Structure 1
Amino acid sequence: MSKISSRKLPLTLIILFFASLTAHAQFLKYVNGNNSWNPDSLGNHRAVVNVTTVGPVCETFIFWRRHDDPTNKSVIVVDAKTNKRIFNVKTENISREGGTVYFQPTSGPGKYYIYYMPYKVTARSNYPNAVYYQMQNTADAAWLEQTNHADNANVLYLESVNAMNSFYPMEVIATKAEVARMLHLNPGKDYFVFTEDRAYPIKMPHDLPAHWVPQGPFNKFTGTALKGENYSYQLGIYPVTTDLKNISLTFSDLKDAAGHRIPATVMSCLNTNGTKYDGTPLTNTVNVSKGDVQALWCLVNIPAKAIAGAYKGTVTVKADNAPATTIGIGITIQNKQAINSGVNDPQKQTRLTWLNSTLAQQNDVIKPYTPLQVDAQTISLLGRKVILNNTGFPEQIQTFFTPEMTETTTTPKNILGENIHFHIVNATTHKDIALKSQGVTFTQKDPGTVKWQASNTSDLLKMDVNGSIEFDGYMNYTVKLTALADVDLDDTKFHIPFDKASAKYLMGLGQKGGLRPDTVKWHWDVATKNQDGAWIGEVNAGLQYSLRDENYVRPLNTNFYLQKPLVLPTSWGNGGKGGMLITIKGKTMLAECYTGPRSMKKGDELYYNFTLLITPFHTINTDFQWATRFYHKYNKLDTIKATGATVVNIHHATPINPYINYPFIAHDAMKSYIDSAHRLGLKVKIYNTVRELSNSAYETFPMRSLGHEIYSTGKGGGYSWLQEHLGSDYIAAWYVPEIKDAAIVNSGMSRWHNYYVEGMNWLVQNLGIDGIYLDDVAFDRITMKRVKRVLTQNGHPGIIDLHSANQYNKNDGFNNSANLYMEHFPYLSRLWFGEYFDYENNSPDFFLTEVSGIPFGLMGEMLQGGGNPWRGMVFGMTNRMPWSDNADPRPIWKAWDYFGMAGTKMIGYWVDANPVKTNNPQVLATVYKKQGKALIAIASWAPADTNIKLTINWQALGINPNTARITAPGIRNFQPVQTFGLNDEIPVLKGKGWMLVVE
């Protein structure tokens, strides 16, 4: 039988199943059921059989060729005429290849449906689990006695509920007899190499597809491509005699009859080589177990100037423990140019090359940041300065932001009380081992990155320090400690001595954000705690530190931390002996990171790596907050425009963005919507993040062929499609029942991030998106910088807002959302730290540090329960329209516009020089000041209703008290119209407040 054509097959039928190979094989066709039944009780697959007799028992053999284990799965038979279930059913000889089903034809001759993978759905709707019914005897005894005299019923076809659920053709297994016959006809092979077109991704890791077997291994591949197209094809490796070790591919040039050449340099194997998300080379070891099937995806980036014609060459498959196999490759290049390398048609796997992209890797300075400047051992950056000492560690870190965070100043604020340093204590002398510093040598001085190194030595130890800083204030240290002789250590202590004046707040290490306690004691517990550091600081000066070693791997987050937690750093953790102690030490607030006792043999190496983030990252853009109003729902654009919103956030599971984190399928509808929005003066952002990925992604199975590079290992389960097509070893994620979109959890840092950046670039260039809405983040700052670069190209606004559900819970490892995502804050436009955040029972300092974004140069919005509008206004926050039914921000927006918030200077309650204070420390006031008038936001955290009086510094406010008046404008669902005298008591209800205009 000839190999299946590379043309796209009709959805409704087509396959002749090798009648000559087995007595049961019949002319079966596979049909698309077009969603004609409910799969959540009957399953996704059925055989349609025809009965021609009128006897009480019919027998049919279903040649289903399944790759699951059907031996204990139920079979449900339904009468097609009445649509009623038949209970007189019996099965025999059930196997993966086929099975016999007896049933009572209750309506006589006609069609009957045999559902052979029925299941029920358990658990919550967005995290369902399909549980397959087990075989049960539902037939009565009298009927069972008649099954020895059954009439025959013919299988007309096999039917899947829709095309997405079909097993045809790549999940239809070859039988044992067919495989044995193939092996018999092709003796002496250690392994077979099958070739396959890109249109049919190899899906089964443990079975051969039935259509491969009749002809056996095929030693050549032929295909057709366009000029400039990102073309691909597959090699299916099938070990016969032994496991194959370290498989690699070697490509030859492709040549046509006239000698034109497509060089081997444009060819690669996705599975063996590539480029990591950080731009460094990737080499994978590919091993294949005997009897398994491994897909190798071969990429050929056809040159744009290639000459049309038929090109031929070879690819050679090699393994360490088996002879090489050479496959002939023939690609006919048509005389037609591919548009955009073919990536506008991702169903052709043209975007696989994106997985190796280096787009936007160059660390160019991103606005509003400024180039780094080095003067001796001082490094200056936007609003901050780092002074290094000869050890390579910071002698001092300074910020130059005003307390209001609206501008910078020439007066520095010191973050450190003394320099950052190590104490390495000798267990023999119980004294510090003195290390002699050799001084700092700068190895790179670029506008975006500065790097340096330093060496510190003694007779016993050598400490090599490699440090770097980037334009946004991120510092990375690799600290290698090498034993020059055998040595026992009492402890290795790392000290970050904070200036107490810059250490008012703390967040992390199991502490909720808020005022810093005088003492924090903490020990490593990576199995249950996503904690490796903290942020300590003031609104206008702070430092986040994280402790790592050379084996650091970013853990999973957002409900999945426990399934892939942090790896305990060998150095810092020291088998569980390490920890942190934060205490007051004289004029400093000392963060001491200790490791406990250990011994080192001569030549041993330990890596005491750490990262620092210097906050704030930039000043606050308050005018952006007042003018940019998000409408977080897909709706008619005229309706949105009428609300006063300016930016539309398009969530997934909507008509123009249906599939989670894969906004490439309904792209024509998305572009039409965005174009219409732009004509109305609206901007459009879309939901697109990394953490989980829709099963509708065209590249699902090519990426599954990469092992666990893209998708995380896990226990499987979840929605039925996942179980039936992925089998096992994955983590089921978010599911949308309305469109049956089932997501799979990403593994973490992988080449998917390269694809993600390229995808964003495509969305900007082809659809004109104005930014993205991030629903938590599962990539690091390298990817975030790349995303920001492509989103802001050619003058695009590149608006990024980040939503996070509160991560301080068991499943997320008790981390703080702001602490977890701080590395991304330099590139965000707004925070939406809302879901599961409690706006009623937390302190104002919690709002400030964990929700508002203000200490980092950002502003935010509220979510859970609509937030608390009075408390929100103290931080310049409202809720987001129309997400909460019980809180509409439009009345506050209207009040902003009536007052004229544009151009105001925000002076928060946290600013010592705030010109307006109340006489109750639990009732706080923030001033929005402009020429001749001010808006005062008042909110209460007092335990009961209270009355307050305002203390106003009229000179600082710039208003003459002799002519001043205080009014409360009427704001629906917020406050009534009211006028207050300058010395009046102002009643404040519990948990509420006021917006007062002074002019």
Structure 2
Amino acid sequence: MKLYAALVLSIAISVGVRAAPTPSLVISFDDHLHAVAGDRIVEASLDGKPELAPGRIGKALKSGPDTGYVQYPTEGIISAAGGTVEMWVKAVDWKPEDEEFHVFFESRGEGALYLYKYYQGVRLLMLTCENVNGPYTSSAFSLDGWKTGEWHHIAGTWSAEGVLAYADGKPAAKLPAGGLLPLSLGKTFRIGDHPWHIARKTTSLIDEVRIYDRPLSSNHIAAHFQGNYDFTVPLQEDLTRLMHTLDPEKGEIQLRVTTGGADVEDARVHAWMAMVRSKEPLPNSAKGQPCTQGQIIQTFPLLSDKPGEYDLVAEVLLDGKRQFELRKGLTIPSMEWRGNRVGMHDKVLPPWTPLQMKGNTVACWGRTYDYTASALPVQIQSANAAVLSRPVSLDVDVAGQKVNWSKQSSRMVSSTATRAEMIGELEGQSGAQQIRVATKVVAEYDGMLLTELSCKGGDGLPIDRVSLEIPVNAGNALYRHRYAHSWEGPAGLVPDGDGVVDKSAFIPYVWLGDNDRGLFWFCESDEFWPNGDSGDAIEIVRNKGEIVMRFNLLSKGQKLPKDWKWTFGLQATPVKPVPKDWRKWRLDPGVNPTVRIIWPTPEDDSMKYYGYPEATKPDVFSQRIKQLQEQGMKTVPYVCLSFISAACPEWPFFQKQWALGGADTGSSDVARYGAPFAIASPVGKEYADFIVRKTKQFIDQYGIDGVYHDNTHPYSSTRLDAGCGYIRDGKLRPTYPIVGFRNLYRRMYAAVKSLPKETFTMAHMSGKVTIPILAYDDSYLDGEHFRGKVKDSYLDLITLDTFRAEFMGRQWGIMPYFNPEFDAEHAQQVEPTRGMMALLMIHDVSPWPISCNVSVVNEAFSALDKFGYVDAEFIPYFDATPPAITDMKDVYISAYKRDGRALLIVSNLSKEDRKGNITINANRLGVPGKKLITWPDELPLTAVGGQVTLDIPRLGYRMVVVE
């Protein structure tokens, strides 16, 4: 053993190993809650009443909502630039599959670092964000198999390379998930088991916490899991990384070599770096660069800007002796797409109609906005109903007195088939104070109106309050759907009560509506919203006969910003007509499919990079497209507009301008490609030019029939270089580039609809219906946010009013599709999928039959097809005059009507069998109702006085044809 130890020491010295990394903080919890940093004690600050309990070694911190947490100072211990946190954790009374947050480490300032168990699924996440409002980047490790009462080692690292999560000594991936590090951290950080916003009572034990001021290597963390804290890592090729960043505007490239956490003195390490043509050796002109904090960085001019293949080379030296060479390829892509105008023609796209102006009324397909004698809308009509209960109003108090607007006006400045512009003014007085607010309204042919309010010199007035009210008739505001920072936003009935029934700090959109129409409001940021951080910035107010969206822009004690210009958008829904025969678009593997979504995989017949419009092998991919089209299917590849693969050749050149911040590295389909899927900025310089042109070329090359757009909702960002964010009081704050996403999607929609054939596009947006963007896709796919949650029935998770508010397409104007998310066990069973179909059919929503029992879906599809429901009239159970009624609990009846017949869908959404009578309204159905048969087996039914008795299975349905 002594001989072996001496040999290891000798090898370590020869390869430049120094002492094992020293933690910047150790918390053993053995005798107290204080920590040790070197030779000094760091006192803990208590949050609640955390306890000590028997631990893995000695004692441990017992932490949870019923006990408490501990905090320690950040300075000198944690650096936003890089570090490691590791600890032992024991789930005392919870399981990983419980839908709870367990936040073990939190360091939060302008940005944040978190090590926590996510509430959905069984994942441990190490997360970073430049700004606490997002976007976020995380590395995820599956905790599948963990059990209550077991001790487990967890860790997380962060560095310029990104973040990486570990469990029991194993990394979540080979490489970190690349993301932006925090702009700054708070004065303290927290250790414990915090629940965040999801209440719980469960507890964890935490022991042997160690924090380091540098990211440890995977070898270090594996050794620490085994209890070896004296472990050292030599400088070695498999841990050393060669990375690069490009600045095409400056014509520069920066190479960076990181030693991967090797325990070697900086002064002993150097590297020679260069950019060369493919397979060429390192040139003699390369110069050695020193190592600082485990990194060697050199910036130099690009060898060439001509498209082609190049290599980045670094020769790493230790004590002046060559150790190994690192080499990676660099493709300089063609830039011929720059300045193109694909999809930018100024014309009305189908199915919309030209914008029409009648006096001060803006008319578009299905909707009108009336500005008669007013600077703000007096009335909005949609789907043959007046939506507003009274005119939209701007309420302002000056020196404690309400401003009375003595004059309002607006006039048309310009008008075309696609766009109109109006300007207006509100003039008023409060006491001796006069105030003028100018308005500018830009209306577009799809019914989206962008309004700018400005008040010159307003910052010099003693303004106490500024609020905008949009009052909607109570009957047209049954539901609300609004943004939330979690996956799904609140949707469903407007909460009961009078006065303020819902409120929030700034969020970027809110919709109020009924089963057939609504009104969508949005705003990209709180830049000109001094009250934006307050919990009452946005209020939903119930008054007699109306529901009001109230936006409290300024409250007493706040000041209107200089040159105040606040912009918001309004769009009445539905935004366009849903085609009568929309049900013909059936997603494979449904029976008689007409659409195949081509998901990206690393195989030869798919895409070269994840979500990127380029085939791996053109001839193989072309053959796949041809075969599918010969089978009668439209080919619709997964092509993302809001994300882009970091492996594509354009990303290194334009990352600075295109990166919104954050990337997906944990999804299994993304991980198969081995590269992050980065969030892209729709307003990033030249991004739209590139992705639209690239996608259109892909479509044209292979004769593709449409596109599937994932992640179709607005992401927030503080990235000024990418055209987002703003600065207030010296700090970056986020914006949501809704208009930018809208313009990008419209441009892509225009390119697709220019094809001389019928096309189909789909947008996946689970939990977030952002209609100004979604308007420019044919269909929307919702439901992924139920993954890991749904078991037997979706109604265990949502109510029918939530489903009506969010998942039906009729009030939005888009074809509605549902994404099933049953786990493997429940997908094999009949009842869960049958119950899902019962729910979908009574709302006229079509499923994508994946993650469910496909045979059960196809049984329903076959029966619907036999009736000929594709172009039938749908009459829902919630209609003012429903097609049939019943007193059976949890049983609902909708109908499809066609050619003098009606198909009743009688759905039992409960978990108990039902038997009872249904009363058919033959007048509503427009059929005599003398003959009733079961469907599809066509067995006769006897009706007495318009009533028929049915047995309906639990989580099931019966079909009845009325002739």
Answer yes or no: is 1:455 the counterpart of 2:405. no
CA–CA distance in structure 2, aligned partners of residues 954 and 136 of structure 1: 72
**Cα displacement string for residues 791-835 of structure 1 (whole angstroms, at most 9, x for unaligned residues):** 1223243312223444xxxxxxxxxx22xx322332232232122
**Cα displacement string for residues 484-515 of structure 1 (whole angstroms, at most 9, x for unaligned residues):** 57322332121111122211222226673222
User: Which residue identity does 1:835 align to in structure 2?
Assistant: E
1:967 to 895, 910, 934: 934
Answer yes or no: is 1:644 the counterpart of 2:605. no
1:661 to 589, 611, 615: 611
2:777 to 804, 823, 828: 828
Q: Which residue of 2 aligns with 1:393?
A: 376
2:751 to 790, 795, 798: 790
CA–CA distance in structure 1, aligned partners of residues 411 and 13 of structure 2: 75
**Relative to structure 1, is the Cα distance of residues 301 and 462 closer, same or farther in structure 2, using a 3 angstrom cutoff?**
farther
CA–CA distance in structure 2, aligned partners of residues 948 and 623 of structure 1: 34
Displacement of 1:301: 11
User: Which residue identity does 2:448 align to in structure 1?
Assistant: Y
Q: Which residue of 1 aligns with 2:405?
A: 434
User: Which residue identity does 1:508 align to in structure 2?
Assistant: R
Answer yes or no: is 1:903 the counterpart of 2:871. yes
Q: What secondary structure does 2:838 align onto?
A: helix
Q: Which residue of 1 aligns with 2:494?
A: 516
Answer yes or no: is 1:499 the counterpart of 2:473. yes
1:364 to 347, 353, 360: 347
**Cα displacement string for residues 675-734 of structure 1 (whole angstroms, at most 9, x for unaligned residues):** 222233221111121444333212232124x3xx322456xxxxxxxxxxxxxxx77554
Displacement of 1:176: 11
Contact 2:706 2:752 in 1 (8 A): yes
**Relative to structure 1, is the Cα distance of residues 447 and 948 closer, same or farther in structure 2, using a 3 angstrom cutoff?**
farther
CA–CA distance in structure 1, aligned partners of residues 558 and 704 of structure 2: 55
User: Which residue identity does 1:928 align to in structure 2?
Assistant: Y
Displacement of 1:859: 2.4
Q: Which residue of 2 aligns with 1:846?
A: 802
Q: Which residue of 2 aligns with 1:869?
A: 837
Q: Which residue of 2 aligns with 1:46?
A: none
CA–CA distance in structure 1, aligned partners of residues 680 and 755 of structure 2: 33
Displacement of 1:540: 2.3
User: Which residue identity does 1:686 align to in structure 2?
Assistant: P
**Relative to structure 1, is the Cα distance of residues 455 and 62 closer, same or farther in structure 2, using a 3 angstrom cutoff?**
farther
Contact 1:421 1:496 in 2 (8 A): yes
Instruction: Report the more deviating stretch, 536-545 or 870-879.
Output: 870-879
Using the size of structure 2 for normalisation, the TM-score is 0.61
**Relative to structure 1, is the Cα distance of residues 847 and 355 closer, same or farther in structure 2, using a 3 angstrom cutoff?**
farther
Displacement of 1:845: 1.9
**Relative to structure 1, is the Cα distance of residues 619 and 682 closer, same or farther in structure 2, using a 3 angstrom cutoff?**
same
**Relative to structure 1, is the Cα distance of residues 645 and 759 closer, same or farther in structure 2, using a 3 angstrom cutoff?**
same
CA–CA distance in structure 1, aligned partners of residues 426 and 456 of structure 2: 11
User: Which residue identity does 1:905 align to in structure 2?
Assistant: E
Displacement of 1:941: 4.2
Contact 1:355 1:753 in 2 (8 A): no
Q: What secondary structure does 1:463 align onto?
A: strand
5+ residue gaps, structure 1, are 1-54, 75-116, 139-154, 183-193, 201-208, 218-237, 240-288, 303-345, 402-411, 553-567, 633-639, 715-729, 807-816, 971-975
Q: What secondary structure does 2:895 align onto?
A: strand
Bigger-Rg structure (1/2): 1
User: Which residue identity does 1:585 align to in structure 2?
Assistant: N
Contact 1:834 1:864 in 2 (8 A): yes
Count of residues in correspondence between the two structures: 671
Contact 2:646 2:678 in 1 (8 A): no
Q: Which residue of 2 aligns with 1:693?
A: 644
User: Which residue identity does 2:808 align to in structure 1?
Assistant: S
Answer yes or no: is 1:630 the counterpart of 2:587. yes
Displacement of 1:179: 13
Contact 2:610 2:673 in 1 (8 A): no
Q: Which residue of 2 aligns with 1:132?
A: 218
Answer yes or no: is 1:532 the counterpart of 2:508. yes
Displacement of 1:348: 5.2
Answer yes or no: is 1:541 the counterpart of 2:517. yes
Displacement of 1:198: 8.4
Displacement of 1:778: 5.1
**Relative to structure 1, is the Cα distance of residues 357 and 601 closer, same or farther in structure 2, using a 3 angstrom cutoff?**
same
User: Which residue identity does 1:834 align to in structure 2?
Assistant: G
Displacement of 1:936: 0.8
Q: Which residue of 1 aligns with 2:387?
A: 415
Contact 1:481 1:607 in 2 (8 A): yes
Displacement of 1:367: 0.5
Instruction: Report the more deviating stretch, 683-692 or 367-376.
Output: 683-692
**Cα displacement string for residues 707-766 of structure 1 (whole angstroms, at most 9, x for unaligned residues):** xx322456xxxxxxxxxxxxxxx7755454874422143253324333221122111111
Displacement of 1:353: 4.9
CA–CA distance in structure 2, aligned partners of residues 297 and 702 of structure 1: 14
**Relative to structure 1, is the Cα distance of residues 301 and 132 closer, same or farther in structure 2, using a 3 angstrom cutoff?**
closer
Q: Which residue of 2 aligns with 1:228?
A: none
Q: Which residue of 2 aligns with 1:147?
A: none
Q: What secondary structure does 2:870 align onto?
A: coil
2:363 to 380, 389, 395: 380
**Cα displacement string for residues 249-307 of structure 1 (whole angstroms, at most 9, x for unaligned residues):** xxxxxxxxxxxxxxxxxxxxxxxxxxxxxxxxxxxxxxxx99752767987899xxxxx
Q: Which residue of 2 aligns with 1:482?
A: 456
Q: Which residue of 1 aligns with 2:679?
A: 746
2:635 to 654, 674, 684: 684
Displacement of 1:547: 3.6
Q: Which residue of 2 aligns with 1:231?
A: none
2:701 to 760, 766, 791: 766
2:285 to 214, 217, 225: 214
Displacement of 1:451: 1.5
Q: Which residue of 2 aligns with 1:606?
A: 564
Q: What secondary structure does 2:623 align onto?
A: helix
Displacement of 1:612: 1.0
Q: What secondary structure does 2:947 align onto?
A: coil
CA–CA distance in structure 2, aligned partners of residues 896 and 126 of structure 1: 49
Q: What secondary structure does 1:763 align onto?
A: helix
Q: Which residue of 1 aligns with 2:171?
A: 122
Contact 2:392 2:469 in 1 (8 A): yes
**Relative to structure 1, is the Cα distance of residues 942 and 737 closer, same or farther in structure 2, using a 3 angstrom cutoff?**
closer
Answer yes or no: is 1:914 the counterpart of 2:863. no
Q: What secondary structure does 1:890 align onto?
A: helix
Using the size of structure 1 for normalisation, the TM-score is 0.59
CA–CA distance in structure 1, aligned partners of residues 858 and 915 of structure 2: 28
- Write out aligned runs for 1:96-111 (5 A): none
CA–CA distance in structure 2, aligned partners of residues 125 and 949 of structure 1: 62
5+ residue gaps, structure 2, are 1-5, 23-163, 179-215, 225-234, 245-252, 260-264, 309-328, 715-740, 823-832
Displacement of 1:354: 3.6
CA–CA distance in structure 1, aligned partners of residues 664 and 880 of structure 2: 50
Percent identical residues = 18
**Cα displacement string for residues 106-162 of structure 1 (whole angstroms, at most 9, x for unaligned residues):** xxxxxxxxxxx9x97434899989952129999xxxxxxxxxxxxxxxx9x979999
Displacement of 1:998: 1.5
Q: What secondary structure does 1:703 align onto?
A: helix
CA–CA distance in structure 1, aligned partners of residues 330 and 851 of structure 2: 34
Q: What secondary structure does 2:581 align onto?
A: helix
Answer yes or no: is 1:585 the counterpart of 2:556. no
User: Which residue identity does 2:806 align to in structure 1?
Assistant: E
Q: What secondary structure does 1:361 align onto?
A: coil
Q: What secondary structure does 1:649 align onto?
A: strand
**Cα displacement string for residues 63-116 of structure 1 (whole angstroms, at most 9, x for unaligned residues):** 999xxx999799xxxxxxxxxxxxxxxxxxxxxxxxxxxxxxxxxxxxxxxxxx
Displacement of 1:426: 2.0
User: Which residue identity does 1:436 align to in structure 2?
Assistant: K
**Relative to structure 1, is the Cα distance of residues 163 and 589 closer, same or farther in structure 2, using a 3 angstrom cutoff?**
closer
Displacement of 1:769: 1.6
